[in-house]
């Protein structure tokens, strides 16, 4: 650790703290360095070289492993009161903790969250059930609830979801109104961007071919995403506000987002781990489990996603975690249209970034920090309380063994669904311990935190990180 950094924090290292983690490779905003942290009352109070760390009630020597801010999963469907057989705050947050995630942003699945009562009920449910901290989206936004945006922002719900396609398709007028409202009050509008007209027409060409899972992807071509992204960008150029494109999957959509940013628009985006690992030709092998929206794309799109992630055109990796009981997937064995659309993912984000990114030379450690933690905290108004290692930030962090190999099995997964799209894969790079506000909630394959530890986190207005 540099002498400047040590000197800066030396005055804060007197006395005793609750926890010291030492002999770590710290991923700070300024870069990677050797040292450790001290934690008291759930917050980081010391960052220093090992010799300047204070005494502590508990000391953990991590033997040179990486210590980075806990990840933020900014798109997960973990608690819908009408679909608790899929996932709930307890099982979903356990899966997240096992993946090095310390804050999860839940998104509506089928049940509307668009009133003060809905928000208060969901906060209560989360704070009684979640193992880690959480916040959540309002939605799905439509012409009836767009007027609630200001009131919901006042309650700490700063993110709103809408669709340009079924099952929650809305029109351009609603999107324009939503963007105008979030522009005035400091929120964020996230759009699932696929053009419904394109989907309708291409689906007609699949008649008689729905027994092949790949038909689901062929019926939802790149152009559907490209046109919808372009349309939403056209609107935000007129209204202002923060437009966030959910789960980008195509090279064409990335180009549209890059051009929009060059014109000064506040447009951010995310990619999902499943789109970084699998591609369209895997679908017939994987079967109905691989059905999701947007679908798996071509190899060229997957390569474009990795490239955009490295250079900063994609801001974050989010799971779109939306698993289901296996029978809802198996319903599509003869007709892919009958299968549930959605896969697991929250436990896999960091593993994918380490194994397929860091260890394959597709990603740097500095980008890992940004796309896993810091950018989501900045964009969704949680920074610097979350997303960074900084004095006075919450002591949310994960310990990583970059060289450890791990075979993914259903037995190691904490999701309620009982299956994983990654079953049988061997990955290199493993989260071994996760801490939420100084409490160890995951340790070497075991959940050590308890439901009810998690606390609701109000969103601020957020912004796109400078230089990203």
Other Cβ atoms less than 10 A from the Cβ of 388: the count is 22
Other Cβ atoms less than 10 A from the Cβ of 238: the count is 9
Strand 133-136 to 159-163 pairing:
unpaired
Residue 152: CA count within 13 A, CB half-sphere: 30
- Counting beta carbons within 10 angstroms of the beta carbon of residue 18, is it exposed (0 to 12), middle (13 to 18) or buried (19 or more)? middle
Unique residue bearing structure tokens 């810091």:
374
Cα–Cα distance measured from residue 415 to residue 78, given in angstroms and rounded to the nearest whole number: 9
**Sign of the dihedral through C-alpha 214, 218, 222, 228:** negative
Residues 397, 37: contact at Cβ < 8 Å? yes
From the list 320, 344, 396, 401, the catalytic residue is: 320
Give CB contacts under 8 A, 24+ apart, made by 141-146. 141/114, 141/170, 141/174, 141/178, 141/189, 142/168, 142/170, 142/174, 143/170, 143/171, 143/173, 143/174, 143/177, 145/112, 145/114, 145/115, 146/174, 146/177, 146/178, 146/181
Tokens for 381, please give them: 């108004």
Does the active-site annotation cover 394?
A: no
Q: Is the peptide bond before 140 cis (omega within 30 degrees of 0)?
A: yes
Cα–Cα distance measured from residue 339 to residue 238, given in angstroms and rounded to the nearest whole number: 39
Measure Cα distances from 363 to 41, 89, 228 in Å: 34, 31, 29
Residues 61, 460: contact at Cβ < 8 Å? no
| β partners of residue 435 | 397, 440
CA angle 349/350/356 to nearest 5° reads 90
Which are the catalytic amino acids?
320
């Amino acid at each position: 650790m540099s002498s400047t950094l040590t000197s800066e924090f030396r005055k804060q290292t007197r006395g005793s703290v609750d926890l010291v983690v030492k002999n770590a490779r710290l991923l700070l905003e300024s870069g990677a360095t050797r040292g450790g942290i001290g934690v008291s009352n759930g917050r980081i109070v010391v960052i220093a070289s090992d010799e300047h760390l204070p005494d502590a009630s508990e000391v953990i020597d991590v033997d040179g492993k990486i210590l980075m801010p806990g990840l933020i999963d900014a798109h997960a469907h973990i608690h819908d009161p009408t679909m608790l057989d899929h996932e709930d705050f307890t099982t979903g947050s356990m899966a997240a903790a096992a993946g090095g995630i310390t804050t999860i942003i839940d998104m509506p699945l089928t049940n509307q969250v668009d009133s003060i009562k809905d928000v208060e009920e969901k906060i209560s449910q989360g704070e009684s059930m979640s193992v880690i901290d959480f916040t959540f989206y309002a939605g799905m936004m439509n012409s009836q609830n767009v007027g609630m945006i200001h009131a919901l922002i006042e309650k700490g719900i700063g993110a709103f979801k809408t669709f340009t396609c079924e099952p929650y398709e809305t029109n351009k007028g609603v999107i324009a109104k939503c963007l105008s409202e979030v522009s005035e009050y400091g929120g964020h509008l996230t759009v699932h961007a696929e053009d419904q007209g394109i989907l309708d027409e291409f689906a007609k060409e699949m008649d008689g071919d729905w027994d092949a899972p790949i038909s689901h992807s062929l019926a939802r071509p790149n152009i559907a995403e490209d046109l919808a992204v372009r349309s939403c960008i056209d609107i935000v150029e007129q209204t202002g506000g923060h437009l966030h494109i959910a789960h980008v999957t195509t090279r064409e959509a990335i180009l549209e987002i890059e051009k929009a940013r060059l014109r000064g628009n506040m447009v951010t985006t995310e990619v999902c781990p499943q789109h970084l690992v699998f591609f369209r030709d895997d679908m017939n092998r994987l079967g109905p489990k691989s059905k999701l929206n947007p679908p798996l794309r071509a190899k060229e799109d997957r390569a474009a996603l990795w490239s955009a992630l490295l250079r900063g055109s994609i801001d974050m990796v989010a799971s779109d975690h939306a698993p289901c009981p296996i029978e809802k997937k198996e319903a599509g064995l003869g007709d892919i249209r009958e299968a549930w659309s959605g896969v697991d993912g929250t436990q896999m984000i960091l593993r994918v970034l380490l194994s397929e990114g860091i260890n394959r030379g597709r990603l740097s450690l500095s980008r890992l920090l940004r796309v896993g933690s810091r950018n989501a905290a900045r964009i969704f108004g949680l920074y610097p309380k979350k997303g960074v290692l900084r004095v006075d930030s919450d002591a949310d962090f994960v310990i990583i063994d970059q060289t450890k190999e791990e075979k993914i099995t259903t037995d190691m997964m904490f999701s309620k669904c009982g299956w994983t799209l990654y079953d049988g894969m061997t990955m290199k790079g493993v989260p071994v311990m996760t801490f939420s506000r100084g409490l160890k909630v995951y340790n070497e394959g075991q959940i050590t935190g308890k439901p009810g530890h998690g606390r609701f986190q109000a969103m601020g207005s957020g912004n796109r990180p400078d230089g990203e």
